[in-house]
Amino acid sequence: MTAAFSVSGVTVTIGEATLVRDVSLDVRHGEVLALVGPNGAGKSTLLGVMAGDRTPSSGEVLCDGRPVAQWSAVDLARHRAVLTQDNQVAFPFRVHEVVEMGRAPWRDASAAEDVEAIARAMAEADVTHLAERTFTSLSGGERARVSLARVLAQRTQAVLLDEPTAALDLKHQEDVLTVARSLAAADVAVAVVLHDLSLAAAYADRIAIMERGRLAALGAPSEVLEPALLERVYGVAVRVIEDADGYPLVVPVRSHAR
């Protein structure tokens, strides 16, 4: 696998706060890399640096071997798509219009290509039935899925997803990660911020565990999801067990649960 993003010694400071400290990792074409860690660990900040939306205080990010800062806005939009945590639209656009915004970088594409890309993205995100609804009338979970459809319609070689499952029910959480796996199967690089460690274990090829801005561990789920490490990073005792398919399940130790 070749690296879609190569992060080398990236540090991000704001005032006296260091949000990311000396992080190095690759996101490869054809893989799903999950970024996990407690709130405030630096996951979203690191994703923003990879996307080119935030400039690091030090270090460098290469996008397919070229410094991300050297890409033009249009070329970058054609190469990577980003789903942020903020799924807001200022005006009451209809759902199909919001998804169509993902085609903006491809102004030279044919109308047929646009129509096909939009229809497929809406089907993959399970929002086709919402096409004529206004974005502002949707639930939080529906907005998250429409925002994902916009990202998918962009049709890029790298996709960066920041907590895409946060507002979703069980079925749609699984659907989103299934889409991520299908993208990886098509040689797309996928980096996704997740809080559900068991979900990350089931769908990610590698997991990067962030701790107070640092990279605490990076590797296959079975390698990095160790109880002692997770207890240190999250501050809670856990058990790691295998499900029937051999995937790690991370379960908190609940001494006072009913």
Tell me the pLDDT tens digit for each residue of 2-30.
899 999 999 999 999 999 999 999 999 99
Return the pLDDT at 235.
95
The CA distance from 203 to 53, in Å, is 26
How far apart, in Å, are the Cα atoms of 137 and each of 88, 130, 134, 225?
Answer: 12, 10, 5, 40
Residues 188-212 have a mean pLDDT of 97
The CA distance from 44 to 192, in Å, is 10
> How many domains are there within the chain?
1
* Residue 229 in domain: yes
Looking from the CA of 209 toward its CB, the CA atoms found within 13 Å total: 22
Whether residue 61 is predicted with pLDDT greater than 90 in this model: the reply is: yes
The CA distance from 161 to 138, in Å, is 20
Contacts of 143 (CB under 8 A, 6+ apart): 87, 88, 135, 167
Whether residue 160 is predicted with pLDDT greater than 90 in this model: the reply is: yes
* Residue 65 in domain: yes
* Residue 257 in domain: no
Whether residue 63 is predicted with pLDDT greater than 70 in this model: the reply is: yes
State the DSSP code for 128. G
* Residue 231 in domain: yes
How far apart, in Å, are the Cα atoms of 25 and each of 4, 61, 108, 132, 236?
Answer: 11, 10, 34, 42, 26
47-59 burial, b at 16+ Cβ within 10 Å, e below that, comes to: bbbbbbebebeeb
Closest CA to 47 of 80, 71, 16: 80
pTM: 0.93
* Residue 126 in domain: yes
Whether residue 131 is predicted with pLDDT greater than 90 in this model: the reply is: yes
* Residue 258 in domain: no
The CA distance from 49 to 47, in Å, is 5
Q: What is the CATH number of the domain that holds 146?
A: 3.40.50.300
Mean pLDDT of the chain: 94
* Residue 127 in domain: yes
- DSSP E strands: which ranges in the chain? 3-14, 17-28, 32-36, 58-63, 66-67, 80-83, 158-162, 189-193, 206-211, 214-219, 238-242, 248-252
Whether 253 contacts 237, CB under 8 Å: yes
- Domain with 239, as residue range(s), is 3-252
* Residue 46 in domain: yes
